[in-house]
Chains A and B, each alone.
Chain A
Amino acid sequence: MDMARNPNITPERRKKSPLEPETPVVDVCDLRIEIGNSGYDIIDEVELTIASGEVLALVGESGSGKTTLGLAILGYTRRGASIVKGKVRLQGRDILAVGDEELRSLWGSQISYVPQDPRAAINPALTIGTQLEEILIAHLPQQSRDERHARIAEMLDEVLLPHGEEFLSRYPHQLSGGQLQRVGLAMAFACRPRVIVFDEPTTGLDVTTQNHILETIRRLCSEYRVAGLYVTHDLAVVSSIATRVGVMYAGRLVEVGPSGAIFKSASHPYTRRLIQAAPEADGRELVGIQGSAPRPGSRPRGCFFSARCDYAVERCIKEFPEVELVDVGHDVRCFRHLEVSAGLNERPRPASRPPGLVSDDVVLNVSGLEAAYGKHVVLHDISLQVHSQECLAIVGESGSGKSTLSQCIVGLHSQFTGKLTFKGNPLANSVRDRGREVLRQVQYIFQNPYGSLNPRRTIGQNVAQPLKLFYGLSGGQLEKRIAEELERVSLSSSTMRRYPDELSGGERQRVAIARALACKPALLICDEITSALDVSVQAAIIDLLRSLQRDLGLAMLFVTHNLPLVSTIAQRLAVMTEGRIVETGDTRTVMAEPAAEYTRMLLANSPIIGSDTKQRLNP
């Protein structure tokens, strides 16, 4: 691993970079973090600067070390990780060298953190007002009560929240996710820190809310000259917020550059593949990245991306590329970055495929469905049809009732009225009252691949369950079928002997798909099945699903909150909000000319990498 270390990266060399407008607020220097004292690095050779007023987006797949790096900038490491080398300077001062006491006083006043899940980060037992005041008392004890209250009002104004007594006396559970994250932002900005680390703060929020939060972050960072580090796995999200973008892969920073340059002429093959994996409104094919990133301890000698790279040459397998300058302020670690940025070996990203043949026979017919939880009615007069060989997408934000609808259809939520017919036969409300044949033909894939497989049973046993129940298979026959089903979703048959926790999220979702398809269903319902996955993995899963749907002639109901994603998979879509369907139609038509006000708003707020970017990448 030492061979790969780069002697050329020295502070002197980097100081020459003329793009940096002023001395950076944050200066990370040759940082290496290991797992315990195993000698295996989580991240290594990381060099990074953030100037005041700019937002640096740190992009990478799960396990790439982006959060580890983000936390290191706070001077913090998670249990089991230790910083073994390097410096993190905050305005010239190495915060890794300061004592605990001093670090604690820096936290909150100079350095802040906005965590991913505001519900976990804000004390549920204290009111919003109390918690905001606590920060001010801790860091600005000289302020008087009145000054503090004036400051709190100002803080809440900045994040566009009401600041009346009524709001301040609310408890966290009385606020929506978006409001809570705004409170989180207000807390982070409370003492006018120099640096804020944002750890995927919009994950789990609706696109509209996400857009507002991003806008607030951008505005506040530039207004108060805060150096922001925005950690995320989604390139599309950062295209609107970041001044600069850093791309992490397997613990290395492989490319850093101005936002525009990254999206227009990315010079690292991985960055380009990430951009291609992001969905966009015109329904172009998603191109996933095959394989997975090497884990700490099993990383090769050469470039870590070489095994998945279209540009890899012999040299890439032997040594890890040094940092090369593409342009001022644009660094990349790739031997062939000139060829890469010219898109030499690029497989052109195919335009959207013409919608497949949709037959007329209706597989699923829902009419006048009304569902409730107790007395609370959540679905109103839902009617829709799914034809055989057709994929219908149901798009809506959280709370729109889209998941309830899909659960009504499969019979997990039975408190509903209305007509539900499958291949012309009425469906019972509850799954317990449905016949075996219907259970086999209607398959459902859950959102969370971490929960849908029994952790105490092997992959083989998990997939075997429906095969035993529906086909009575056993012994060698069963094993053969399991292997076939796994191979169909591009998993090796040896996977069947492993346990779910040995698999990545994408692999688990493949297993869930294999298990559903093992039943040879006529209707497949996918409930947000890619929302827990990385963008590149999402692209691969979507690609797989679509080819399977075409090959098997499946009717599919694809439930999602991600409007751009729909155009790559569904022929028709239905947009839901507040328990009603507000628009249905052909996907292309709806995306091009949305009729409903709500659809227009949803489209406008969806994070999409700028269209000018795409033209360069898809000549």
Chain B
Amino acid sequence: MSLMRQTLKQTRARVSLVLIAGVVLVAVLGPYLALAPPNDFVGPPFQGSPYSPFGTDLLGRDVLSRFLSGGLSILLIALIATTLGVALGTMIGTTAAYLRSRSGDLIMRANDVLLAFPMIVFALLIISILGPKPWLLTLTVALGTAPRVARLARSAALEVVDREFIKVSELFGESRYAILWRELLPNIASPLLVEASLRLTYSIGVVASLSYLGFGTQPPDPDWGRMISENQSAVSIQPWPVLMPVIAIAVLTIGTNILADCFLRTLVGIERGKDS
């Protein structure tokens, strides 16, 4: 895809990819690199650890091992939730744009109602009722993402549905599904990609926040968000269990954000090139 190639010509994009890849590698390979089992007590709380210079946490577990083992869940949940949310949002948005009748309007108004809830409040509401389960967390974040994507997908699709080739397909008696999937979708793929990478940034933030609040992975298993909340009281004497996940999440969100920005620049740049 030329958007990818164009984007990767920018130095910023390559830097952001390195940042993202770094964090992803830590999260994916971390569990195998951990020297101590992450849930084992290896020493007194907030003291030195025999396994690493980063010491122990509030229960005396090895900080580095817990950090290495605790990233995958956040990453996976954020990624799956974003994918689901973008897919759902795209479906809602393109359908609304293509129908364009009252039912299309109705879909978008319902979408606006969902949009009115701040994502974190929405997630807290559902999870506190049904309990913290990883699949539920994924689903909630996906549901929170979808309306935002739907809005963008609809406005991008509205520009395309009036183009003649859509009408040509209608004149050939092509099914609505085929028109949406084969004619419309490829033409809004670029703005959707930008939106998806931006949504990923948000999802990482939300999932990390929720796990900080205790709705993520349940104790005693390690998790970056909960590592921060568990150890924040002693941050002045033992900063590592807070600092390490904070840095990892920050680097990841900054990375995805820069990447989204680079996609957007390329997209705008392509359009400018066509004008002149």
Using a CB–CB distance below 8 Å, which chain A residues touch chain B? 78-81, 410-412, 431-432, 434, 436, 439, 443-444, 446, 448, 451-457, 462, 465-466, 469-470, 515, 519
Contact = CB atoms under 8 A, between A and B. Distances in A.
B193 to A, nearest CB: 14
Interface of B: 163-165, 167-174, 183, 186-187, 189, 272, 275-276
B171 A431 contact: yes
B234 to A, nearest CB: 56
A78 B276 CA distance: 7
B276 A465 contact: no
Contact of B174 (A410, A411, A465): A465
A466 B165 contact: no
Given A78-B276, A80-B276, A457-B186, A439 B171 contact: yes
Contacts of B183: 454
B164 A446 contact: yes
B197 to A, nearest CB: 20
Q: 6 closest pairs, A vs B, by CB?
A: A456-B186, A451-B164, A452-B164, A79-B276, A446-B164, A439-B173
A462 B182 CA distance: 11
Contacts of A79: 272, 275-276
23 contacts: A78-B276, A410-B171, A431-B171, A431-B173, A432-B170, A434-B173, A436-B173, A439-B173, A443-B171, A444-B168, A444-B171, A446-B167, A446-B168, A448-B164, A451-B163, A451-B165, A453-B165, A454-B186, A455-B187, A457-B186, A465-B172, A465-B174, A466-B172
Nearest to A435: B173
A202 B170 CA distance: 33
Q: Which residue, of B163, B168, B169, B174, has the highest number of chain A Cβ atoms within 10 A?
A: B168
A279 to B, nearest CB: 25
A456 B169 CA distance: 14
Contacts of A519: 172
A139 B174 CA distance: 58
Contacts of A453: 165
Given A443-B171, A454-B183, A462-B165, 11 more contacts: A412-B167, A412-B171, A436-B173, A439-B171, A452-B164, A452-B168, A453-B165, A465-B168, A465-B169, A465-B174, A469-B174
A436 B174 CA distance: 10
Nearest to A430: B170
A552 B26 CA distance: 68
B150 to A, nearest CB: 21
A188 B266 CA distance: 37
A431 B165 contact: no
Contacts of B168: 444, 446, 452, 465, 515
Contacts of B172: 439, 465-466, 469-470, 519
Contacts of B171: 410-412, 431, 439, 443-444
A452 B170 contact: no
A605 B44 CA distance: 98
Nearest to B176: A432
A571 B172 CA distance: 28
Nearest to B162: A451
Contacts of A451: 163-165
Nearest to B174: A469
Contacts of B174: 465, 469
A454 B165 contact: yes
A516 to B, nearest CB: 9
B173 A469 contact: yes
A439 B167 CA distance: 13
B258 to A, nearest CB: 26
B130 to A, nearest CB: 41
Contacts of B169: 465
A111 to B, nearest CB: 21
Nearest to B186: A456
Nearest to B183: A454
Contacts of A434: 173
Contacts of A470: 172
Given A78-B276, A456-B186, A412 B165 contact: no
Nearest to B274: A501
Nearest to B167: A412
Contacts of A432: 170
B164 A431 contact: no
A402 to B, nearest CB: 17
A412 B170 contact: yes
Contacts of A439: 171-173
A466 B167 CA distance: 13
Contacts of A448: 164
A454 B187 contact: yes
A412 B189 CA distance: 27
A451 B165 CA distance: 6
A515 B275 CA distance: 28
Contacts of B276: 78-81
A80 B173 CA distance: 43
Contacts of B170: 412, 431-432
A410 B186 CA distance: 26
Contact of A452 (B165, B173, B186, B275): B165
B180 to A, nearest CB: 13
A598 to B, nearest CB: 29
Nearest to A411: B171
Contacts of A78: 276
B166 to A, nearest CB: 8
Nearest to A462: B165
A167 to B, nearest CB: 32
Contacts of B164: 446, 448, 451-452
A80 B272 CA distance: 11
A329 to B, nearest CB: 35
A427 B171 CA distance: 14
Nearest to A80: B276
